[in-house]
Amino acid sequence: MWWIPVILIGSVVLLSTKNKEEKIGNMANCNKLFSDYDNNLNIPKKKKDKLKESKEVLRERIRKHFKDNHPEYKPEFYIQGSYKMGTTILTKDDDCDLDDGVYFRREADVTATTLQKWVKDALDGATSSSVEHRSKCLRVIYKGDYHIDFPVYIFPKDDNDPSLAVKNNGFEESDPKEVVEWYKVEKAKNIQLNRIVKHLKGWGDHKRNKMPSGLAMTILAANNIQPNDRDDIALKNTLIEIQETLDNDFACIVPATPGDDLFENYDATRKNNFLSNLDDFIKDSKQALDNEPNQLKASRLWRKHLGIHFPFGEDEDTDAKEAALKRISENVLKGAAYSQSSGTISTEPTRAKNKPHTNYGG
């Protein structure tokens, strides 16, 4: 494909000699806004560097504590979850997280809760905030910045299936590495998947009120993605597909050991809250794409669901502007364009005629 540069009132537009005809609908194109939104969800380099540094400091605390107090338990580490998959987002509170699995390659001769407590003992005092002993991890909080979760696993040398320590509930089969490997395969099928996952997670973060977890959003996106050249259209169609899927079966099965359903314990209130938010999002996405030509007004509809990281658009009909530029490009290519004294290009034969382009590349 050859591209021709045409200068239009201070802008450079690339014109293709093989333009694909597409129907221009009565909708605002917000694809660029979604690209900016995706960038706004990324963790800034400075914060990411601090997060990595903190992870190493905490790992060393755990190693030293076990060497000094429980030498028969030698910790190994594996970053898991969204950080490993490249779908971590910056929340509306300017927070982010990292999941760092702590593995012990041996049989457990203590309870799951005790093993978790030993890891907690190693982490206590690392920050001014108390370490949270959660059901399935220990959480270290760096206030106003980020937090790091440490799930704890027993991984016997003669067993390929790790077991996760669950507070007051023993060990349960769980292999986060399988999730990461599954996601690599899914992402390879569609490079748009990462962005759609982040958009769904951004929606969940904005709405909160026990919206589905990041893992659930990731699974829903991978299982229902509807690819499109534009992210705004892809997201709308993916939301519709998710709704149809959940209407048939309200479930979200983890594609890894132990294959549990993340929606299994949703009560009626939590389920209805999610489905209601989903329905509202679909309605506004349809309005933005089908009936709203003004980009600023369309962006406000998207922003209702995606939050402060989603940028405002221009107060203009972007599709009409694109159509006008397309008409100019066609006239330039067929030699029917004239330059006006104002610098604009039109088909009015009142000024110098533009010569047809013959240089289509070298």
CB 38 within 8 A of CB 199: yes
Look up residue 98 and give its two tokens. Answer: 């990292």
The reply to whether the predicted model has a pTM over 0.85 is no
Beta bridge pairs of residue 132 = 139
Say which amino acid occupies 325. Answer: L
CATH topology of domain 45-174: Beta Polymerase; domain 2 (3.30.460)
95, 97, 100, 317: the catalytic one is 97
CB 122 within 8 A of CB 68: no
38, 95, 100, 149: the catalytic one is 149
Judge whether 175 counts as a catalytic residue. Answer: no
3-state secondary structure of 287: helix
Cα(224)–Cα(41) distance, integer angstroms: 22
Per DSSP, helices labelled H in the chain are 31-41, 45-69, 81-85, 112-123, 176-189, 193-207, 214-224, 231-248, 268-286, 295-306, 318-333
For the chain, what are the domain ranges?
A: 45-174, 177-285
Per DSSP, helices labelled H in 287-317 are 295-306
Per-residue pLDDT of the chain (362 residues; tens, 9 = 90+): 434 343 333 333 333 323 333 344 567 999 999 999 999 999 999 999 999 999 999 999 999 999 999 999 999 999 999 999 999 999 999 999 999 999 999 999 999 999 999 999 999 999 999 999 999 999 999 999 999 999 999 988 777 789 999 999 999 999 999 999 999 999 999 999 999 999 999 999 999 999 999 999 999 999 999 999 999 999 999 999 999 999 999 999 999 999 999 999 999 999 999 999 999 999 999 999 999 999 999 999 999 999 999 999 999 876 555 555 555 555 556 666 656 655 566 666 655 555 555 544 44
Residue 314 CB partners (closer than 8 Å, separation 6+): 295, 296
For residue 351, the tally of other CB atoms under 10 A from its CB is 14
CB 122 within 8 A of CB 66: yes
Judge whether 97 counts as a catalytic residue. Answer: yes
Judge whether 95 counts as a catalytic residue. Answer: no
Look up residue 362 and give its two tokens. Answer: 């070298």
99, 205, 231, 317: the catalytic one is 99
On the 0-12 / 13-18 / 19+ scale of CB atoms within 10 A, 117 is middle
Look up residue 49 and give its two tokens. Answer: 């560097």
CB 143 within 8 A of CB 154: no
